[in-house]
Amino acid sequence: HHVIDAAEDIEVIAPDGRRAKAKIVGGDPETDLAVLRVSLSELKPIAVGNAEEARVGDPVLAIGNPFGVGQTVTMGIISALGRNQLGINTFENFIQTDAAINPGNSGGPLVDAEGRLLGINTAIYSRTGGSLGIGFAIPVSTVRNVVDQIVATGAVTRGYIGVEPQDITPEMAEAFKLPRREGAIIAGLLRNGPAEKAGVKVGDILLEVDGQTVRNTAGMLNLISQLKPGAQADLKFLREGKEISLKVQVGKRPRPGRGER
């Protein structure tokens, strides 16, 4: 999304050198993904892999146009899976790779040894502006979910419960004698929001969303966002040392303003 955001003209160049103007179907700044429409014949779609089956150490290839020099392929391995809390996007579940990714690689594919799409390259960690062997790709499962929604409706709809979460630090767990360090503390509530209406209180620790464990705030955001607005979600909390369950009517997450993440 950041590649085409605010662009007035977008041109796509096919591998055989053909050029065509592209139109934006829709974008999602919270995952940094966008969908373009282009009128070019005989384009072959990339084979799609399964990022859920990928393992740390698997070989991968990153394809892009670093610094505008032309299509380039670099090789590396999957360094880590499920990276989050990096402050890059609102919703993070990155594949980390040491394949060289530089400015110009964003939006390019990260593929496995068979050429199947595993993710979309989106960012690097660097103090110099160039590759230091720490690059991040959005997993194909996220890509498909976002792209399918944009193609169908032009936008992405996510669940929302109206809470301000906070991670549990070791110091916090010790100070408040918390029995566990996993979960997300509810530090604030939207007045008359879905969570407040359901009886959630500040200080509650969210443990599960529809039976899925909440490990931190990033995990909580990802789980809540996947809920369908209007549906009821079963949330498990820790309150004053006791586990309680509450049913929350899921709301619709507000769309971020321009430039927001």
Identity of the residue numbered 110: L
| Per-residue confidence (pLDDT) for residue 82, from 0 to 100 | 85
Instruction: Specify the DSSP class assigned to residue 67.
Output: G
The answer, yes or no, to whether residue 260 has pLDDT greater than 60, is: no
Asked if CATH classification 2.60.40.2220 holds for the domain at 159-252, the reply, yes or no, is no
Catalytic residue among 1, 28, 32, 112: 32
| Active-site choice (106, 112, 131, 204) | 106
CB 3 within 8 A of CB 107: yes
- For the cut 50, the answer to whether the pLDDT of residue 198 exceeds it is yes
Distances, alpha carbon 256 to alpha carbons 27, 89, 143, 170, 188, in Å: 11, 12, 19, 32, 19
Class of domain 42-153: mainly beta
Tell me, yes or no, if 106 is annotated catalytic: yes
Tell me phi and psi for residue 20, to 5 degrees.
-155, 150
User: With pLDDT > 70 as the criterion, what percentage of the chain qualifies?
Assistant: 95
pTM of the predicted structure, to 2 decimals = 0.75
Task: List the single range of 78-87, 206-215, 233-242, 245-254 with lowest mean pLDDT.
Answer: 78-87
* Mean pLDDT computed over every residue of the chain: 88
Q: Where are the domains positioned within the chain?
A: 42-153, 159-252
Tell me which of 2, 28, 98, 112 is the catalytic residue.
2
Give the model's pLDDT for residue 245. Answer: 97
| 1 CB-near residues (< 8 Å, 6+ apart) | 27, 28, 29, 31, 32, 33, 34
131 flagged as catalytic? no
At 131 the pLDDT is 61
Percentage of the chain beyond pLDDT 90 is: 57
Task: Report whether pLDDT(8) > 70.
Answer: yes
261 pLDDT tier (thresholds 50, 70, 90) = very low
Beta strand segments in the chain, E: 11-13, 19-28, 33-38, 59-64, 72-83, 94-97, 109-112, 117-124, 135-139, 159-160, 163-167, 184-189, 205-209, 212-213, 232-239, 242-249, 251-252
